[in-house]
């Protein structure tokens, strides 16, 4: 079996994308092969422009899902850069590789059982004690998160700080792909936020009220109606759905 990150299907998309032959081109390299692409494209659009269909490493196309991690170098620079393909414009001389997934096994824990101790994060991710403070994780984060600082905060049991610092993480995994200490940062960030929300943050009265409302069955009738609808009824409702609230004026 072959695993494809993307497959080339020869489907030029020039006319779809609102630029013409006069749009300046840049040279990029996709897994070693050279392509000339319009300079207004994102990396993801450029891959498609070059004729590939993305079957992995592509999700929301809006910088939120973290599926399109990309690493690249530039011809005039020794550094290895990282980015989200859907959020970054192509540049002249980019050598690109997609990293659709970074293996990072998540520790098993039951949030009900977790107690807030100084070592709560070390208990599930002891490897954070291997951090050498090289800051490579922070440098590789496409979200501009101070990753090293939240790992350091987690190490010293400062859950609140770690939760706040890691809040914008979209779990693309680039940090974990480059860490010399083999830390699985984004899982650590997820655990600190969970511990913070359940054990430290003040409880939201609105949420409690809402849950009470749901428990009392306010939506039961509507749900039942949906569950008993025929396929054609569901299709009709889907077609006529409101995608965004329309303002009155």
C-alpha distances in Å from residue 86, one per residue of 37, 102, 207 = 15, 18, 34
- Residues 135, 198, 224, 236: which binds other proteins (CB under 8 A)? 135
Applying the rule CB under 8 A, the residues between 174 and 203 that interact with other proteins are 180
Residue of 87, 102, 127, 143 that binds other proteins (CB under 8 A): 127
C-beta closer to other proteins: residue 104 or 170? 104
User: Using CA atoms, how far apart are residues 1 and 240, in angstroms rounded to an integer?
Assistant: 42
Which residue, 56 or 164, has its beta carbon nearer to other proteins? 164
43 and 70 Cβ atoms separated by less than 8 Å:
yes
By the rule CB under 8 A, 160 interacts with other proteins: no
Question: Of residues 4, 130, 199, 225, which one binds other proteins by CB under 8 A?
Answer: 130
Question: Residues binding other proteins: what is the number (CB under 8 A)?
Answer: 22
Closer Cβ to other proteins, 155 or 169, answer by number:
155
Stretch that binds other proteins, among 52-60, 118-126, 216-224, 235-243 (CB under 8 A): 118-126
In angstroms, rounded to a whole number, what is the distance separating the alpha carbons of residues 105 and 136?
20
Given 83, 90, 131, 141, the residue binding other proteins (CB under 8 A): 131
121 and 159 Cβ atoms separated by less than 8 Å: yes
Q: With the C-alpha atoms ordered 122, 124, 127, 128, is the resulting torsion angle positive or negative?
A: negative
Residue 137 sits in the site that holds other proteins (CB under 8 A): no
Token pair belonging to 137: 């994780």
> Does 152 help bind other proteins (rule: CB under 8 A)?
yes
d(CA 211, CA 206): 9
Q: Is 99 exposed, middle or buried (0-12, 13-18, 19+ CB in 10 A)?
A: middle
Residues contributing to the site for other proteins (CB under 8 A): 117-119, 122-123, 126-127, 129-135, 148-149, 152, 155-158, 180
């Amino acid at each position: 079996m072959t695993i494809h990150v993307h497959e080339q299907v020869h489907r030029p998309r020039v006319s779809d994308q609102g630029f013409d032959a006069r749009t300046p081109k840049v040279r990029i390299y996709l897994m070693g092969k050279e392509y000339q692409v319009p300079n207004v494209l994102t990396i993801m659009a450029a891959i498609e422009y070059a004729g590939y269909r993305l079957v992995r490493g592509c999700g929301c196309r809006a910088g939120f899902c973290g599926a399109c991690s990309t690493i690249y170098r530039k011809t005039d620079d020794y550094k290895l850069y990282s980015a989200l393909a859907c959020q970054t414009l192509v540049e002249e001389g980019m050598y690109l590789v997609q990293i659709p997934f970074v293996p990072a096994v998540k520790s098993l824990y039951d949030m009900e059982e977790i107690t807030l101790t100084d070592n709560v994060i070390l208990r599930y991710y002891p490897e954070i004690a291997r951090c050498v403070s090289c800051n490579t994780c922070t440098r590789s984060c496409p979200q501009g998160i101070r990753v090293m600082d939240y790992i350091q905060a987690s190490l010293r049991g400062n859950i609140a700080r770690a939760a706040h610092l890691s809040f914008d993480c979209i779990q693309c995994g680039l940090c974990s792909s480059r860490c010399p200490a083999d830390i699985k940062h984004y899982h650590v960030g997820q655990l600190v936020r969970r511990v913070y929300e359940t054990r430290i943050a003040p409880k939201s009265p609105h949420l409690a009220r809402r849950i009470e409302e749901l428990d009392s069955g306010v939506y039961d009738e509507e749900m039942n109606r949906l569950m008993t609808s025929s396929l054609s009824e569901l299709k009709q409702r889907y077609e006529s759905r409101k995608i965004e609230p329309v303002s009155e004026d």
